[in-house]
Amino acid sequence: MTNPQKAETKQFEAEVSQLLQLMINNLYGNKEVFLRELISNASDACDRLRFAALEDEDLYEDDPDLEIYVDWDADAGTLTVKDNGIGMSRSDVSENIGTIAKSGTQEFMQALEEKDEIDSQVIGQFGVGFYSAFIVSERVELETRRAGEPAERGVRWSSDGRGEYTIETIEREERGTTITLHLREEEQEILDYATLKGIVEKYSDHVSFPIKMPAQDEDEEGWETVNRASALWMRRSSDISDEEYTEFYKHISRDFNDPLEWTHAHIEGRLKFSMLFYIPSERPFDMAAGVDSEHRGVKLYVRRVFIMDDAEMFLPRYLRFVRGVVDSDDLDLNVSRESLQENRVVSAMKKTATNRVLDMLEEMAEDPETYQTFWNQFGNLLKEGAVEDHARRERLSGLLRFATTHTDQPDQTVSLDDYIERMGEEQEKIYYVTADSFASAKSSPHLEIFRDKDIEVLLMYDRIDEWLANHLAEYQDHELQSVAVGDLDIDDVGDEQDDPDRDEADEDHADLIAALQASLGQRVEQVRTTRRLRDSPACLVAQEGGMSKHFERMLRDAGQQVPDRKPILEVNPDHPIIERLGEKVEEGEDVGEWADVLFDQAWLSEGGQLDDPGTFVQRMNKLMIRLLGESDSDIITEV
């Protein structure tokens, strides 16, 4: 068994060493962030002690006033950040500093690799804020003791950030944590009262615990508080500047980007609570990587006492990108996550909070440029909402955005209301096409008649779009209609004259249709002439009430069972290939290979993958050889 008093020297894990080297080499443009991160960690420690003390007041150890201290020694070149919060045990320090077990460093490094530039915008989002001390330090020392533990179980951790760290058990009378930074010589100009106070006021004025610095007034001794130390969300919005709102967002989210928008409200009546919600300007890395970050989502306070991070029960899952704070006067201080799930007060708060966020999004949508920024980052989550939240489906649908056949780029999107406003007088349905990509959707053969008739079609190419279309049957009394499912009835819609009667076309091409049907056999439900093609010889159409081939493919890829419903092959009677095949049938020639090629080409045009691409290539080669007027045997002999 390891002697708990013994000092140990350990190697940083590889990912942590890589991260430290990035910071030591000054790859972060804003060096001031280190102080904000250390103060934020101290604030978290105080919050956690106050919460733990709800059940065990002895944890306060006769020192209930939670505070944060910032001190410096210009002669020694050191800066100290100290708190009397929850503190850490030796195992806490071992698990959280120097390893990737809980810090999220691995995901953080992956996020850095995915960015074009490494900057201060990503620090803190993965619990790696402590390492920011090495931006300015040649050595960092940490001393700590967990509240409730005896003085002889204090811990000292130290490192120069060059690959190793030392950890040992020490005697420490005070609970909480003290971090001492031995600054590099070129960074010591920060060791000045006005400079340090300015940084604290800039980044941490909203921290709800007193941040104290040595008093500078000759008539005063001791410490002076340099921040407001009040819960910003409890203040009146008219008393809060945009800069204060922005810095508070950065504090609770650990995001260095400014938020896109925020909403702040005090609800009084049957329930009494305050809420402050933000919309980030970029999708948080923890959301993209699935990291279990403690700084995501909504924080719950009860009467200004911190209760929990990521209080997911106050907003539906599709709004999980929202950051902010909820503070209730009606919940118990000892409330648990489990008891909140079915709590009536929480249900009422959730309804109000959700509507408030949707109000904010609707206001944001009035500025198309800002809303497009939001949509590019979080649009798919709102699509989840339109599927899951039946009660708000119509409202959420109004917030959806889509590229269309009348737009040139994926980020040129329109709302369903915009689409309806642009519909022709005769058009009653909202038409859409699904595909795997914007380019594939844009070039779908199903759109050919719609282009001729100048009918706008929504381009749906996100994975969730098929589920969305299946749940969003109509909007504003207009049915949503896939251009690839069932028969089309658009003779009287659009600029072009009515299409020829298909019954007459089928009759004129009856022999060809019968030949194609016989050749394809069980691969198709039916072969018929089409109303929808202009430039392509054939396309595949799902049966009325069925699902598109694209949706079937997605379900199979997800391991789901798909009903065995065969597609319909529609052929374009005016296309030269179809006309020539009709002549071949009349001449008594076999068109079996052509039937298979038409089917496979139609499948490929929808982004499908062939079960046997080798056979398809061989078949195409044979047909091209024949078109060149040479026999198969001649070519084979020459090869």
8 Å CB contact between 315 and 299: no
pLDDT at 12 exceeding the cut of 50: yes
Residue 508 pLDDT more than 60? yes
What is the pLDDT of the chain when averaged over all its residues? 83
Distance between CA 552 and CA 548 in Å, rounded?
6
Contacts of 227 by beta carbon, 8 Å cutoff, 6+ apart: 200, 201, 204, 205, 206, 207, 210, 211
Give how far Cα 414 sits from Cα of 219, 410, 481, Å.
65, 11, 17
Q: Report the pLDDT averaged over residues 533-546.
A: 83
Q: For the sheet containing 305-308, what is the strand order?
A: 261-267, 273-279, 323-328, 298-302, 305-308
Mean pLDDT over 515-528 rounds to 89
pLDDT of residue 104: 47
pLDDT above 70 covers a percentage of the chain that reads 82
CATH of 502-608, one of 3.30.70.100, 1.10.3720.10, 1.20.120.790, 3.30.530.20: 1.20.120.790
Q: 8-225 domain in CATH 3.60.21.10?
A: no
Each residue of 173-184: pLDDT tens digit? Answer: 999 999 999 999
SS3 215: coil
3-class state of residue 570 by DSSP: strand
In this structure, the dihedral spanned by the alpha carbons of residues 132, 134, 139 and 145, taken in order and rounded to 10 degrees, is 10
Token reading at 415: 């709302």
Query: Domain 368-482 has what CATH class?
Result: alpha beta
Beta-carbon contacts of 135 under 8 Å, excluding residues fewer than 6 positions away, are 23, 24, 26, 28, 31, 33, 34
pTM for this model (two decimals): 0.71
Cα–Cα distance, 284 to 96 (Å, whole number):
22
Buried b (16+ CB within 10 A) or exposed e, 530-542: bbbbbebbbbbbb
Structural domain boundaries of the chain? 8-225, 232-364, 368-482, 502-608
pLDDT in tens, 74-113: 999 999 999 999 999 999 898 878 654 444 445 545 554 5
Angle of helix 592-605 relative to helix 613-627, nearest 10 degrees, comes to: 120
Residue 555 has pLDDT above 70, yes or no: no
In angstroms, the CA 75 to CA 185 distance is 11
pLDDT at residue 294 tops 50: no
For 366-413, write each residue's pLDDT tens digit: 999 999 999 999 999 999 999 999 999 999 999 999 999 998 899 899
Residue 126 banded pLDDT, cuts 50, 70, 90:
very low
232-364 has which CATH code? 3.30.230.80
- Predicted local distance difference test score (pLDDT) of residue 285: 65
Specify the range with the lowest mean pLDDT, choosing from 131-135, 276-280, 422-426, 518-522: 131-135
How large is the average pLDDT for residues 487-491? 71
pLDDT of residue 183: 96
Cβ contacts of 637 within 8 Å, gap of 6 or more: none
Q: Are 523 and 599 in contact (CB under 8 A)?
A: yes
Closest CA to 567 of 609, 520, 612, 515: 520
Give the range with max mean pLDDT: 183-197, 202-216, 569-583, 615-629: 183-197
Instruction: Give residues with Cβ within 8 angstroms of 564, minimum separation 6.
Output: none
pLDDT band per the 50, 70, 90 thresholds, residue 124: very low
Write the pLDDT tens digit of every residue in 344-374: 999 999 999 999 999 999 999 999 999 999 9
Q: Could you give the CA distance from residue 194 to residue 189 in angstroms, rounded to a whole number? A: 11
Per residue in 141-200, pLDDT tens?
A: 999 999 999 999 999 999 988 888 999 999 999 999 999 999 999 999 999 999 999 999
Contact 277, 300 (CB under 8 A): no
| Burial of residue 268, with CB atoms counted within 10 A of its CB: 0-12 exposed, 13-18 middle, 19 or more buried | exposed
Closest Cα partner for 596 from 628, 622, 626?
A: 622
Q: How far apart are CA 605 and CA 510, in angstroms?
A: 25
Cβ density class 600-635: b for 16+ within 10 Å, e for less: bbbbebbbbeeeeeeebeebeeeeeeeeeeeeeeee
Pairing verdict, β 430-434 and 458-460 = parallel
pLDDT value at position 589?
85
Q: Stretch 18-47: mean pLDDT, rounded?
A: 75
For 257-269, write each residue's pLDDT tens digit.
899 999 999 999 8
